[in-house]
Amino acid sequence: MVQDIVFVTGNANKLKEVQMLLSGSDINLSNEPLDLDELQDTDLQKIAVAKCQQAVQVLGAGKPVFVEDTALTFQEFNGLPGAYIKWFLKSMGLEKIVQMLDNFPNKSAQAITTIAYADSEGKIHVFEGITDGKIVPARGPTAFGWDPIFEPLESHGQTYAEMTKEDKNVISHRGRAFAKFNQFLSGN
C-alpha cells in the first residue's frame, strides 16, 4: 500500500539524498521546508524527537511525518561538534574545522543520522545510522556540507564529496538510517 509521508527539511541536498533512498519504496514523499527549532543537546535522539514533535505541532496530528538530524562527532572531542556541526560550518568553514584537529593525532569521526518518525497515531519511532571515518583536508566538490572533509573507512580513500551519490548512499550514515526506516515501513 502506498503511504503518504511528509519529510520536514529545509536542506535541499538532504532532500535529494532522501528522495533517492526512498525511491524504491511504497512511499509517496512530500516535503515541508520548515526551519524547525533544534534543541541544544549532545543526545542526538532527544534532538530528533523534539524536532519531530514540533513538526507534528505545526503540521497537525494524524499525518505521518519525519525529520532527520545529522551530526558529525569527533572522537578526540568526545562527540563534539556533534549536532552543532551546522553552526561550526556556517561560522568557520571547512578549513578551520579541519584545523581544530591539527594538534591531535586522532582524526576519528562518526557521521550519524537520527530519524524521528511520527506515525498517524502520533507515536514516535527513532532510527539511527552511523558511519565511521576520519577528518581530512577537503577534497572533492563542496556541494554538500562537510562531505569534502569526511573520509569513511569503507570508501577506499575517497571523501564523501569524491563519491557518487549512489556510492555514498550505500555506506552513508543517512543510507543506513533509511535502510532501517524502510524496513520498518514495509512491515507496516
x-marked contacts with ligand Y43 along 162-181 as a string, rule CB under 6 A: ------------x-------
With both helix axes pointing from N to C terminus, report the angle between 173-186 and 12-21 in degrees, rounded to the nearest 10.
50
Q: In Å, how far are 53, 90, 102, 163 from 160, measured between CA atoms? A: 31, 19, 21, 5
Least Cα distance to 174 among 139, 144, 136 occurs for 144
Question: Are 4 and 28 spatial neighbours (Cβ–Cβ below 8 Å)?
Answer: yes
Could you tell me the smallest distance in angstroms from the CB atom of residue 187 to ligand Y43?
Answer: 25
Could you tell me the smallest distance in angstroms from the CB atom of residue 57 to ligand Y43?
Answer: 16
Least Cα distance to 66 among 110, 111, 109, 25 occurs for 25
Minimum CB distance to ligand Y43 smaller for 29 or for 89: 89
Minimum CB distance to ligand Y43 smaller for 111 or for 185: 111
Could you tell me the smallest distance in angstroms from the CB atom of residue 146 to ligand Y43?
Answer: 5
Minimum CB distance to ligand Y43 smaller for 14 or for 176: 14
11 is in an annotated binding site: yes
How many of the other CB atoms lie within 10 Å of CB of 127? 22
Binding annotation: 9-14, 38, 51, 69-70, 144-147, 168, 173-174
Q: By CB under 6 A, name the binding residues for ligand Y43.
A: 9-11, 14, 38, 69-70, 85-86, 89, 144-147, 160, 174
